Amino acid sequence: MKRAFVLALACIILSSVPGTSQTRRRTTQKRSATAKASFEEKQQAEIRSGREQIATQIKALTQFLYLFGNVSKGIETAEQVSRNHEETSVGMSAERIAQSKAKLKDSIKTVRTGLDQLESSFRLNPVLQSYYPNLAGVARLGQTAESQAAAGTFDQAGRSLIAAVNKLADALVALR
């Protein structure tokens, strides 16, 4: 009888030990699953933010290009009228032409800065780094446009900015 009592006591003690460890494992698994879900949610939020950044840049750049085309065409026409010494309503003084060119160059510089910041934000963000190759070079297109505008070739600068919009659109498609 003593033997049965000792055996029963040993069984009770041994059966309680594994029960406690199993409960702990389940709790740990729930925490890691929750942490994993939270991490994935944060990743998706970062990707969504990256998409929004690209979309905002595309909107701003296309609006700028719409205005850019009209302004650069006006400058070109005014310069032609000025060279031919014609008297028309589209003519501008040389000073006003220079001011318009300076404003346009400054605007392109601002666009280039925005493209640089966008590219940097993707390069420096660990979640978005894998998408950076799709965006790489867009800042260089902005620099090219700025150089072309400084040289007075506004038409080529506009074409470089259109190439930047195309690259941004491709990067937006790649961000899923």
pLDDT per residue as tens digits for the range 71-107: 888 888 888 887 777 665 556 778 888 898 999 999 9
User: What's the pLDDT at 84?
Assistant: 77
Q: How many residues does the chain have?
A: 176
How far is residue 74's CA from residue 71's CA, in Å, rounded to a whole number? 5
Number of H helices, E strands in the chain: 5, 0
Is the model's pLDDT at 53 over the cut of 70? yes
How far is residue 148's CA from residue 141's CA, in Å, rounded to a whole number? 10
- pTM of this structure: 0.73
The span from the first CA to the last CA of the chain, in angstroms, equals 72
Token output for 66: 């719409």
Is the model's pLDDT at 113 over the cut of 50? yes
pLDDT tens-digit series, residues 11-41: 555 555 555 455 555 555 555 667 677 888 8
